[in-house]
A and B are shown apart, each in its own frame.
Chain A
Amino acid sequence: MLMLQLLRKYLLPYRSLLLAVLAFQFVQTILTLLLPTINADIINNGVITGDTDYISRVGALMLGVTLIQVVFAVIAIYFGAKAAMSFGRDVRGALFRGVTAFSTADVNTFGASSLITRITNDVQQVQMLVVMICTLFVSAPIMIIGGLFFAIREDGPLSLILVVAIPALVMSVGVVVIRLIPQFEFMQVRIDRVNQVMREQITGMRVVRAFVREPEEGVRFGVANADLTETSLKAGRLQAFMFPSVMLVLNVSSVAAVWFGAARVDAGEMQIGTMIAFLTYLIQILTAVMMATFVAVMWPRAAVCAARIAEVLNTEASIHAPATPVVDLPTRGSFEMRNVSFSYAGAEEPVLNDISFRVDAGQKLAVVGSTGAGKTTLISLGPRLYDTTGGSVLIDGVDVRELDPELLWSHIGLVPQKPFLFTGTIASNLRYGRADASDDELWEALEVAQARDFVAAMPRGLDSRIAQGGTNVSGGQRQRLAIARALVKKPDVYLFDDSFSALDLATDARLRAALEPVIREAAVVIVAQRISTILDADQILVIDEGRNVGLGTHEELLETCPTYVEIVESQMAQEAA
């Protein structure tokens, strides 16, 4: 059913193409049905009498008819292919747009690997079915109906064979199709799995090699591969049943036609010629049913794929724009959390519990806490990568959930913990947040991010290539480029998630100094490990197991917050060691 919905929705814009396919296929099929008559005519009136003139004349007619038929068939294929491939393109486009609108949680629910399979492999399966429908499925029913019509007209009682044969056909095909569907459900999931294991192996290649785990990873892949092969095999073997069984039903029907036909001929109820004609039509139906079986073979997999596509398309992005979004922010540069709590879906314990703070333009809030305390989660609530489960996050005084998401994002400059870069050039990465930034602005941002020198030293400067994920620059360089990328945006609120971890202290200090004037107009939240780097923060928020255990200046916290004192002491001990 999901398949029909999908087909209806995404083929609708191409209904004129489909109508054209129908029209051209109709004419083409009728002409095909005409050909046997002309053939017979050539034999009966030409060849038998040795009338070569007649043969040439009717032969020319026959070639004329086939020529028209070929032209019509080609046109039908043209429109059919166009409709089917446009359908595929549009579904891929819709899927991609759907996923980019998803929240991070939504993407994780499906898994990136599965989403990737769905957008290419699954769409391909449905698209091929549409091609088959356009080329075969249109003419097959015409031929079946035509054949049936003539067969029944020839001899009614003998046509009763069809009353047995057709249900037998439907059943033999139906049984296979019903058993195929669960196999294909497994199959697509297992393709996802192969994709996932392979993807992990490529991303973790260094670690796998370092630990000499190629054989074990091979086994892990082997399991995924064997599972996929097993279902493919089961599906393949079920499909293998389809053609021979269809053939058998039809051949048995023709044997039955002769068997019962003979009795009727003997009884004088029927002419031999009629029986032979009946057989001809039976064979014609046979051919058409065979063609329809082609579609039946593809149907189950396409249906499973369509359901998987629909699942994505029907998923509302869990974080979406409000009905009447706030499109204008009155004040500029403040970031506030009011009694914010958050738990991941399915988790028992909340990751954040009743967190409140407010940072105004020109102020800096530092967040410290132990590993796993919830610092990254806290940062990700700002740009609505997740929505709070309690309380609210306000930017420039407006709840982020009331804002137009585009507007929200344009006001936030995020530097994530993992400084991910995209395939392209340094310039294209820096312009990620603001496409119209000038080269000068890029250099300014690089200057502040302490990245000017190494970019300038590259032979191609801003146009130097960046590989996927930024693997061809060092960790420290990647981090500085990620900072520069956020700076180019010139946002009101900066969120730095442990963004200086790969920098040495000297660079770190220079960067912070250079950052000061740039972020003076903005509200800044910094997640940090090293207390020395955040001493000048206006406020420091100490979180422990998701709870606020201290909020104040360095001096205040030294007095009031034991956890903070512990952190400071651990670092002093380290430095003094």
Chain B
Amino acid sequence: MTSEEEPVQEPDDDKEIKPPPLPATPFGRMGMAGVPLERSENFRGSVVRLMARLRVEGLKIGGVVALAVMSVILLVLGPKVLGSATNVIVDGVQSPTGIDFSELHRYLLFALGLYVTSAALAYTQAYVLAGVVQRTMSRMRTEVEEKLNRLPLRDVDRMPRGDLLSRVTNDIDNLAQSLQQTLSQMLTSALTIVGVMIMMITISPLLSLVAIVTIPVSLMTISFITRRSRVKFIAQWDHTGTLNAHVEEVFTGHELVKVFGRQHEVEHEFDDTNEQMFQASFGAQFISGTIQPVMMFIGNLNYVAIAVLGGLRVASGAMSLGDIQAFIQYSRQYTQPLTQLASMANLLQSGIASAERVFELLDSPEESADPQVPLFDEHPRGKVEFDHVQFSYDPKNPLIEDLSLVAEPGQTVAIVGPTGAGKTTLVNLIMRFYEIDGGAILLDGNDISKMRRRDLRSNIGMVLQDTWLFGGTIKENIAFGNLEATDEQILEAARATYVDRFVHTLAEGYETVLDDERGSVSAGEKQLLTIARAFLANPTILILDEATSSVDTRTEVLIQRAMAALRSNRTSFVIAHRLSTIRDADIILVMESGSIVEQGNHEELLAKRGAYHALYNAQFAAAAVEVA
């Protein structure tokens, strides 16, 4: 008796474990110095795509802009009104009547009103913006989650899980933080610059030129620094992903790390990644941190230039003293938001680096799209045909080269054969977990590759050797098989699969939450739960891949009976250890290296004295010992 779980993927030596869309090594992406052209294009692309996502919130964004404009206008006006108030005092001191307090208080109350309104506007703006950012992030998380459902399994298997998780949590979180901090600031700063610039031009177009020249200089500086910081930010978030992947794997295999005394090696490996992450984030922080002082320097340079030029103008009498004073005040007001804008642009680099990692995932190739309309009626009879099927995980190592078989409705097909023969692959192909390279698989005569995956799969119940259960109650996990099932039906399925028996020993019964904390459910019991799940699904086609390998033999005998009833009126594919359990199968397929070498029922195959006969004898010998 043979059977082993088939390779989920054949060893694939010529390819990286990670798929092309994700970075094979974080270093590969960074280049030597500066940014490869492609990266910058990606970068610009990421900004555009991010904007596109924000645009969904069009009305709100419009509101935010409007509020920001008003708030900036009020803020710029505020000091003017306060200045008028000061003038009232100055006039008052010089006049014999003293200060006109009623006028003064009018100005002051007006200024107060401006400030209160401006604060209210600013608050409303930030409030709305928080919503825009958080909803956008929420949508991006959903986008990633939905994307996962469309990724080919063979790619998912190669992606480091922790890196994937890091993109959903760390990267989106970072993006949210930097957007929240930068968007409104950038808007306010940009508007302030425009406002101040207008004021400056009205005073002196010539001097304004000096101020205008500052803009390209600033932009060049910003671009010079951000180009460098960007590389570091990208590296920082890549390394965060790598670190997350390592941590995730080690924590998952925690027991083995301990028992095999690997703590030190694992720590060493961690330290390496941690150090690289440190280098990248230190670089990013330092380089981006320099922008503020450097911009302040440029601002001061601008100030001195204006002062020199202004002095000349005053000396030649081309400009009044009041104007030059006002102009100089404005030029200070002008460099401050410019500096702020630069810092924000830089902070945004970090966010965009993260956004890019999310987009990279969203861009990875997907499974072919499903047709819009269902191909066949809801209840197929369950005839499954393989017509000259070819399949390989790796084109260089063909696995299934020309496989044909027919399973009539209601038949039980058993698959036996040594490891790597392609047994699990075969049933995975029926599920369309992988797309075949040639030939066709037909359900009731319809090509399954032309069906909608969900139509196909909802007619198939599968019990895998991998006993995946989610962190919910036992009841919820059984109901996973059929969401419309009543409590009665759930209980019935549980009884039929001997789940009920052990659930009764649990204090909370069916409401027991499956977590690893209390070790309440053993591996064998988990397997029973997965059988109950498939039982409840009541499918047309049933696939049992090593369904009872961890269940003790006494329970197995009982389950076999239940499953025999379950199989009775549906097409079943069974991969099992003990040939005795599949002896009454209608067809037994003996597989060797991707091909069916023998096919027939138990008696026919025994009579052939071929591969099946040999397998059976090996088992019989063992069984004989047992009986002895």
Given A88-B278, A195-B168, 9 more A-B residue pairs with CB atoms under 8 Å apart are: A73-B296, A112-B248, A255-B115, A472-B8, A474-B6, A474-B7, A477-B4, A507-B2, A574-B556
Contact check, B7 vs A43: say whether CB atoms are below 8 A apart: no
A92 CB–B CB distance under 8 Å: yes
Contact check, A196 vs B471: say whether CB atoms are below 8 A apart: yes
> Which B484-533 residues have a C-beta within 8 angstroms of A?
502, 505, 507, 515-525, 527-528, 530, 533
A473 CB–B CB distance under 8 Å: yes
CB < 8 Å neighbour of A432 from B161, B174, B260, B308: B260
List 5 interface pairs A-B (beta carbons < 8 Å), by A numbering. A47-B311, A120-B166, A236-B131, A501-B550, A570-B557
Stretch at the interface among B268-276, B379-387, B440-448: B268-276
Query: Given that A198-B165, A233-B131, A265-B93 are known contacts, is A96 also in contact with B247, CB under 8 Å in the complex?
Result: yes
Stretch at the interface among B32-40, B103-111, B402-410: B103-111
Query: Given that A51-B311, A109-B517, A120-B166 are known contacts, is A465 also in contact with B557, CB under 8 Å in the complex?
Result: no
B217 CB–A CB distance under 8 Å: no
B594 CB–A CB distance under 8 Å: no
Query: Given that A205-B148, A509-B618 are known contacts, is A572 also in contact with B627, CB under 8 Å in the complex?
Result: yes
- Residues of chain B with a CB closer than 8 A to A85's CB: 278, 281-282, 285
Stretch at the interface among A64-72, A149-157, A160-168, A324-332: A64-72
B376 CB–A CB distance under 8 Å: no
Question: Measured between C-beta atoms, what is the minimum distance from B121 to chain A in Å?
Answer: 8
Q: Quick one: closest B residue to A294, CB to CB?
A: B181
Query: Given that A85-B281, A371-B502 are known contacts, is A255 also in contact with B82, CB under 8 Å in the complex?
Result: yes
Query: Given that A115-B251, A236-B180 are known contacts, is A69 also in contact with B89, CB under 8 Å in the complex?
Result: no
B130 CB–A CB distance under 8 Å: yes
Interface size class on chain B is: 35 or more
CB < 8 Å neighbour of B5 from A261, A266, A475, A575: A475
Question: Measured between C-beta atoms, what is the minimum distance from B116 to chain A in Å?
Answer: 7
- Residues of chain B with a CB closer than 8 A to A530's CB: 553, 626
Complex CA gap A412/B255 in Å reads: 13
Q: Quick one: closest A residue to B421, CB to CB?
A: A474
- Residues of chain B with a CB closer than 8 A to A52's CB: 308, 311-312, 315
Stretch at the interface among A7-15, A220-228, A395-403, A517-525: A220-228
Question: Measured between C-beta atoms, what is the minimum distance from A500 to chain B in Å?
Answer: 10
Complex CA gap A238/B120 in Å reads: 14
> Which A91-140 residues have a C-beta within 8 angstroms of B?
92-93, 96-97, 99-102, 104-105, 107-109, 111-112, 115-117, 119-121, 124, 127, 131, 135
Contact check, A574 vs B581: say whether CB atoms are below 8 A apart: yes
B546 CB–A CB distance under 8 Å: yes
Complex CA gap A80/B111 in Å reads: 40
Complex CA gap A560/B381 in Å reads: 52
Contact check, B304 vs A265: say whether CB atoms are below 8 A apart: no
Stretch at the interface among A242-250, A333-341, A357-365, A441-449: A242-250
B145 CB–A CB distance under 8 Å: yes
Contact check, A409 vs B311: say whether CB atoms are below 8 A apart: no
Contact check, B308 vs A55: say whether CB atoms are below 8 A apart: yes
> Which A204-225 residues have a C-beta within 8 angstroms of B?
204-214, 216-218, 220-222, 225
Query: Given that A85-B278, A92-B274, A101-B263 are known contacts, is A70 also in contact with B297, CB under 8 Å in the complex?
Result: yes
> Which A169-206 residues have a C-beta within 8 angstroms of B?
191, 194-196, 198-206
Query: Given that A81-B289, A116-B162, A121-B173 are known contacts, is A475 also in contact with B465, CB under 8 Å in the complex?
Result: yes
CB < 8 Å neighbour of A376 from B111, B523, B556: B523
Q: Quick one: closest B residue to A222, CB to CB?
A: B142
Question: Measured between C-beta atoms, what is the minimum distance from A219 to chain B in Å?
Answer: 10
Query: Given that A116-B251, A575-B626 are known contacts, is A371 also in contact with B522, CB under 8 Å in the complex?
Result: yes
Contact check, B297 vs A369: say whether CB atoms are below 8 A apart: no
Question: Measured between C-beta atoms, what is the minimum distance from B490 to chain A in Å?
Answer: 15
> Lowest 4 A-B CB distances belong to which pairs?
A475-B5, A476-B4, A50-B315, A236-B130
Complex CA gap A200/B105 in Å reads: 65
B69 CB–A CB distance under 8 Å: no
Contact check, B148 vs A248: say whether CB atoms are below 8 A apart: no
Contact check, A532 vs B623: say whether CB atoms are below 8 A apart: yes
Contact check, A243 vs B141: say whether CB atoms are below 8 A apart: no
A304 CB–B CB distance under 8 Å: no
Residue of B90, B308, B557, B626 most packed against chain A (CB within 10 A)? B626
Q: Quick one: closest B residue to A418, CB to CB?
A: B523
B68 CB–A CB distance under 8 Å: no
- Residues of chain B with a CB closer than 8 A to A70's CB: 293-294, 296-297
Number of A-B residue pairs having CB atoms within 8 Å of each other in the complex: 564
Contact check, B89 vs A504: say whether CB atoms are below 8 A apart: no
Q: Chain A's interface: helix, strand, loop or mixed, by majority?
A: helix
Question: Measured between C-beta atoms, what is the minimum distance from A363 to chain B in Å?
Answer: 20
Interface string of A4-48 (1 = CB under 8 A from B): 000000000000000000000000100000010001001100111
Contact check, B130 vs A100: say whether CB atoms are below 8 A apart: no
- Residues of chain A with a CB closer than 8 A to B158's CB: 467, 472
A437 CB–B CB distance under 8 Å: no
CB < 8 Å neighbour of A202 from B156, B528, B554: B156
Contact check, B90 vs A258: say whether CB atoms are below 8 A apart: no
CB < 8 Å neighbour of A107 from B134, B254, B297, B457: B254
> Which A542-577 residues have a C-beta within 8 angstroms of B?
566-568, 570-577
CB < 8 Å neighbour of A383 from B259, B289, B551: B259
Contact check, A458 vs B251: say whether CB atoms are below 8 A apart: no
Query: Given that A205-B153, A530-B553, A577-B580 are known contacts, is A191 also in contact with B169, CB under 8 Å in the complex?
Result: yes
Contact check, A195 vs B165: say whether CB atoms are below 8 A apart: yes
Contact check, A454 vs B419: say whether CB atoms are below 8 A apart: yes
Question: Measured between C-beta atoms, what is the minimum distance from B264 to chain A in Å?
Answer: 9
Contact check, A474 vs B424: say whether CB atoms are below 8 A apart: yes
B552 CB–A CB distance under 8 Å: yes
Contact check, B101 vs A262: say whether CB atoms are below 8 A apart: yes
Complex CA gap A36/B131 in Å reads: 40
- Residues of chain B with a CB closer than 8 A to A464's CB: 11, 13
Contact check, A88 vs B300: say whether CB atoms are below 8 A apart: no
CB < 8 Å neighbour of B419 from A62, A205, A348, A477: A477
CB < 8 Å neighbour of A241 from B123, B142, B552: B123
- Residues of chain A with a CB closer than 8 A to B98's CB: 266
Query: Given that A417-B523, A573-B557 are known contacts, is A262 also in contact with B89, CB under 8 Å in the complex?
Result: yes
A145 CB–B CB distance under 8 Å: no
A529 CB–B CB distance under 8 Å: yes
Contact check, A244 vs B120: say whether CB atoms are below 8 A apart: yes
Contact check, B314 vs A48: say whether CB atoms are below 8 A apart: yes
- Residues of chain B with a CB closer than 8 A to A203's CB: 161, 468
Contact check, A574 vs B557: say whether CB atoms are below 8 A apart: yes
CB < 8 Å neighbour of A229 from B135, B254, B263, B481: B135
A147 CB–B CB distance under 8 Å: no
Question: Measured between C-beta atoms, what is the minimum distance from A94 to chain B in Å?
Answer: 11
Interface string of B1-44 (1 = CB under 8 A from A): 11111111111111011000000000000000000000000000
Contact check, A258 vs B89: say whether CB atoms are below 8 A apart: yes
Query: Given that A435-B265, A531-B626 are known contacts, is A458 also in contact with B11, CB under 8 Å in the complex?
Result: yes
A513 CB–B CB distance under 8 Å: no
CB < 8 Å neighbour of B552 from A226, A259, A567: A567
CB < 8 Å neighbour of B466 from A81, A206, A244, A572: A206
Complex CA gap A42/B157 in Å reads: 68
Contact check, B261 vs A102: say whether CB atoms are below 8 A apart: no
Complex CA gap A383/B260 in Å reads: 10
Question: Measured between C-beta atoms, what is the minimum distance from A186 to chain B in Å?
Answer: 14
Q: Quick one: closest B residue to A508, CB to CB?
A: B622
B325 CB–A CB distance under 8 Å: yes
Contact check, B625 vs A535: say whether CB atoms are below 8 A apart: yes
Q: Quick one: closest A residue to B424, CB to CB?
A: A474
Complex CA gap A147/B589 in Å reads: 88
Q: Quick one: closest B residue to A77, CB to CB?
A: B289
B218 CB–A CB distance under 8 Å: no
Interface string of B58-82 (1 = CB under 8 A from A): 0000000000000000000010001
Contact check, B258 vs A409: say whether CB atoms are below 8 A apart: yes
- Residues of chain B with a CB closer than 8 A to A102's CB: 254
B400 CB–A CB distance under 8 Å: no
